[in-house]
Amino acid sequence: MAPDCPDCGGTGFRVRSTPEGFTTAARCDCSYREQAARMLKSARIPPRYDHCLLETFEGQEDSHREAIQIAGDWVERWPDLEFNHSLLFHGSPGIGKTHLAIGIIRQLAGQKGARVLFYEQRALLKKLQGTFDPGSAIRESHILAPIQAADILVLDDLGAGRTSEWARDVLHEIITHRYDHRKSMIITTNCALGEDDDEDAGDNAVPGVLGSLSLRQRLGDALMSRLYEMCRFVRLEGDDYRKGVINQRIRRA
């Protein structure tokens, strides 16, 4: 807690009187701030996403504005989410999926003290693979334990790269554990979902991701089924922000 907090006077609690004459005390946001700063340091968010906050996400397209609305609403209701206790952002590359996921976990760490963790899928699989090296000092369980313990796990770029049998099993274990324990995830993917079974290329094809396998093909029906139950699927549309806006800013500078 902050000794000079204007909301609670440094007590860490905000005391309010209800119209019925009762006095209520709620934990003040400032008591979470220090804890959040520490936690965010260990949340493994890559420095290139330092600027990613919900407030810095621009709503240029309808789907962007809708996504901000959904994200804000989810943040407000978390953790009291009976349905859709997870979110899945999908759409083509550079459209802001990871930005939104990180904006959400930053806000929830700061406002509600959520223990958050970020993993890009390929980096996670590589790290787990590294534990198989005979000389490795880190065991698989050292990596999986915090993943299971986190209140909110961001699994970024799900379905990226080659999905081997082993990779599929690992992802199955991680996602199913969170499903079984009703723990939140925020997933991002630029794979087509593959809703219309094997011939998914048509309507679900993501522009710019030619000939790629759908998420369903990569993860299998059992895992997709769990994702449909856990997640609110949020589709983002529009142009690649990296190519457009950011590039123009650099050229203008």
Ligand X SMILES: Nc1ncnc2c1ncn2[C@@H]1O[C@H](COP(=O)(O)OP(=O)(O)OP(=O)(O)O)[C@@H](O)[C@H]1O
Interacting residues with ligand X (CB under 6 A): 52, 56-58, 60, 64, 93-99, 157, 188, 190, 241-242, 246
8 lies in the binding site for Zn ion (CB under 5 A) = yes
Nearest to 98 by CA among 231, 243, 242, 211: 242
Residues in region 30-89 near Zn ion by CB under 5 A:
30
The C-alpha atoms of residue 131 and residue 127 are separated, in whole angstroms, by 7
- Closest distance between Zn ion and the C-beta of residue 23, in Å? 17
- Closest distance between ligand X and the C-beta of residue 35, in Å? 26
Identity of the residue, 29 or 120, whose beta carbon is nearer to Zn ion in the bound complex: 29
Q: Yes or no: say if 8 and 28 are a contact pair by the CB < 8 Å rule.
A: yes
Pairing of strands 116-120, 86-90: unpaired
Identity of the residue, 68 or 170, whose beta carbon is nearer to ligand X in the bound complex: 68
Contact range with Mg ion by CB under 5 A, out of 6-14, 17-25, 32-40, 98-106: 98-106
The C-alpha atoms of residue 155 and residue 185 are separated, in whole angstroms, by 7
7 lies in the binding site for Zn ion (CB under 5 A) = yes
The CA-based angle 245-247-251, given to 5 degrees, is 115
Q: Yes or no: say if 2 and 28 are a contact pair by the CB < 8 Å rule.
A: no
Q: Yes or no: say if 186 and 87 are a contact pair by the CB < 8 Å rule.
A: yes
Identity of the residue, 98 or 184, whose beta carbon is nearer to ligand X in the bound complex: 98
- Closest distance between Mg ion and the C-beta of residue 141, in Å? 28
User: What, of Mg ion, Zn ion, ligand X, none, does residue 16 touch, CB below 5 to 8 Å by kind?
Assistant: none
Among 86, 98, 184, 214, binds Mg ion (CB under 5 A): 98
User: What, of ligand X, Mg ion, Zn ion, none, does residue 99 touch, CB below 5 to 8 Å by kind?
Assistant: ligand X
The CA-based angle 172-175-186, given to 5 degrees, is 140
User: What, of Zn ion, ligand X, Mg ion, none, does residue 72 touch, CB below 5 to 8 Å by kind?
Assistant: none
Q: Yes or no: say if 106 and 51 are a contact pair by the CB < 8 Å rule.
A: no
Identity of the residue, 233 or 241, whose beta carbon is nearer to ligand X in the bound complex: 241
- Catalog residues that contact Mg ion under the rule CB under 5 A: 98
- Catalog residues that contact Zn ion under the rule CB under 5 A: 5, 7-8, 28, 30
